[in-house]
Amino acid sequence: MLKYTLLIGLGFCSFVTFAQEEEQVPQEEAKGNLGEIEVVRDYKPILADAVKIRQSPDLTNNRKYLSKLNYSVFDRKLDINTGTHRLEIQQLPAMRPDILTNNYAKIGAGNFNTLLGEVYISNGEDQALQVGGFAKHLSQKGSDYEGQNFSEQKIGLFGRSILDRITLNGEIGFNRYATRYYGFVPLQPELNTDPTKQHYNDLYLKGELNSNYEDNEELLSYSLKVDGYLFGNAFSTKENSFALSANINKKVNAFNVGANVSGDFTSLKSNDLSLGNHIARLNSYIRFQGKNYKLTLGATLVSEFGGEENRNNIFPTVDFDFALVPEYASIYAGVKGDVVKTSFRSLANENPFLTESPFLDTTSNSLVVRNMLEKLHVFGGLKGNAGATFGYKVGVFYKQISDLPFYAIQPNSPSRYDIIYDRGEKNKVFGLEGDINVRVSEAVSLGGNLLFNEYDLENEAEAWYIPKLRLAANTRINISKKVYIDGELFFNDAMKAKSYQQYAGVSGTDPNAPVTVSMPSFVDISAGLEYRATKQIGVYVRGNNLLNKGYERFLYYPRLGFNIIGGVNVSF
């Protein structure tokens, strides 16, 4: 029964399959007969209620607030081993510079018979070894007063060597300055019709040894300096000096300990008389230094010997520096004392019209030299800078001084100056000082300094020839790569000079009685212009005392009026 049933089913399936076989239509008829399509009704898509969105759209178009995202980026080095290596710098072959600026020469001439010659020579290319020399000549002759002549010559050799552990510096030279006693007294012009010649010769030697900086702070730092000179005028006054000084410093934990020691041995000779003026000095200190402060505590022992008076003094030394704003503003303060050497050389460089023997005491027929004693010197102020374009310093000071040296004309010869002293024990000086340097741009720079002094003396009526205010300013402007301008201004406040009735026009019973003469303030302005015609040759012109004022720095000695000088300088 199962067999027959299976056969009947298979037969029925084959019949149905044969019934669905598609009738073959000839190819020619198929091209013209596309068939028939019966349309029952239009098609309309209908969605079920379950998939419909029953919410109206919001058309306000407001952007939603997005919170700020914070990312935490880890500082990790990405190591990628690509086989690359650091590039090596290719060394360039040594080339000779186009211009050697370490050597130059200058010549010039101007009114008042002005002659100028200057030369400077140095090896210049080896930074560890510098050797060179210089020479200069300048002479002028005024026409307003008899003997108003000046001349100056300088010549010297220098050297500098930087070794592994030390640096050596040295210089030897000769300076000569010549003039005449052309002092002119308006009320008595016949006093000085034939001015006497005067000149000063200065042969000097300098040497210095310094230890080089080491990374190891525990090493001992040290320096040694020697200074000597032979100085004399056209007459019989001579001064010889030899000074030796040394410094050692050692860092111990958080502080430094050190000492400065020096010996200055000076001898003075005049009119077959001689006198010694020797000063020995020892300064020991301990310095505490932190990140923003520095404090130095110490004491100075000064001994004077070899002269008329021998003195020993001990002075405290306190120096404090604190950075209010590091690298921009610091306050400083201190207390100290010292002995300032009275030197024939330094006094003559300031006032060349000293008498033939300024230290001769005619009453005792002996030489008298007294060193200035600063019993107390208190100072403080503010200093700082703003990078390399602006630097400043302003401070005040107070001093108690004895044996102050001053200039005074001789009673019987007003064209010559003596040295007098105020030996008061209660002399006081209050002062204000300031410095400023401004670099406006790479082409413009400015600078200036100010000094104000107020003296309260015990014996002398005034601080002779010392102005209350001195002001100096300078500028340099690079107009282009070839044109340079520089200028200087110097202001000297009114001064007091010590004279006598017969020269000052004061009537009295004693013509040799001293009187005080007021000297007016003055301003001295100078300016210069330089044009670089080529990279090695330049042309310059300079004017001095542009206001053409015959002012007096020292009584009865008028200065030259407006003078101009021009010439050529060469670099090689």
CATH number at residue 471: 2.40.170.20
Residue 57 lies in a domain: no
pTM: 0.80
E strand map for 57-144: 104-110, 114-122, 129-141
Three-state DSSP class for 509?
coil
Could you give the number of structural domains in the chain? Answer: 1
Identify the top-confidence range among 355-369, 461-475, 498-512. 461-475
Element (H, E) at 439: strand 427-439
Three-state DSSP class for 190?
helix
Residue 549 lies in a domain: yes
Residue 495 lies in a domain: yes
The whole-number average pLDDT for the span 330-339 is: 97
In this model, does residue 347 exceed pLDDT 90? yes
H-helix segments, 444-559: 501-504
CB 475 within 8 A of CB 444: yes
In single-letter form, the type of residue at position 535 comes to K
pLDDT of residue 52: 52
| Domain interval for residue 379 | 117-571
- Provide φ and ψ at 405, rounded to 5°: -85, 140
In single-letter form, the type of residue at position 337 comes to G
Residue 312 lies in a domain: yes
Better-predicted residue by pLDDT, 136 or 43: 136
String of DSSP letters for 480-525: SSSEEEEEEEEEE--EEEEEEHHHHT---S-TT-EEEEEE--EEEE
Residue 206 lies in a domain: yes
pLDDT of residue 379: 97
Each residue's pLDDT tens digit, 410-451: 999 999 999 999 999 999 999 999 999 999 888 899 999 999
The whole-number average pLDDT for the span 278-284 is: 97
Each residue's pLDDT tens digit, 64-112: 444 444 544 444 444 444 444 444 545 444 444 455 578 999 999 999 9
Three-state DSSP class for 30?
helix
pLDDT of residue 42: 56
Element (H, E) at 393: strand 390-402
What integer best gives the mean pLDDT of the chain? 86
Residue 112 lies in a domain: no
Residue 355 lies in a domain: yes
The whole-number average pLDDT for the span 202-213 is: 94
Residue 36 lies in a domain: no
For the chain, give the longest Cα–Cα distance.
183
In single-letter form, the type of residue at position 315 comes to F
In this model, does residue 17 exceed pLDDT 70? no
Using CA atoms, how far apart are residues 367 and 358, in angstroms rounded to an integer?
Answer: 9
Using CA atoms, how far apart are residues 382 and 361, in angstroms rounded to an integer?
Answer: 45
Burial of residue 417, with CB atoms counted within 10 A of its CB: 0-12 exposed, 13-18 middle, 19 or more buried: buried
Identify the top-confidence range among 115-129, 243-257, 538-552. 538-552
CB 135 within 8 A of CB 116: no
pLDDT of residue 36: 58
CB 553 within 8 A of CB 517: no
Contacts of 235 (CB under 8 A, 6+ apart): 356, 357
Residue linked to tokens 């990078």:
387
Cα dihedral angle (92, 94, 96, 99), rounded to 10 degrees? 50
Least confident of 31-45, 214-228, 513-527: 31-45
152 CB neighbour count, 10 Å cutoff: 14
157 CB neighbour count, 10 Å cutoff: 13
In this model, does residue 355 exceed pLDDT 50? yes
* DSSP summary character for residue 512: T
CB 338 within 8 A of CB 374: yes
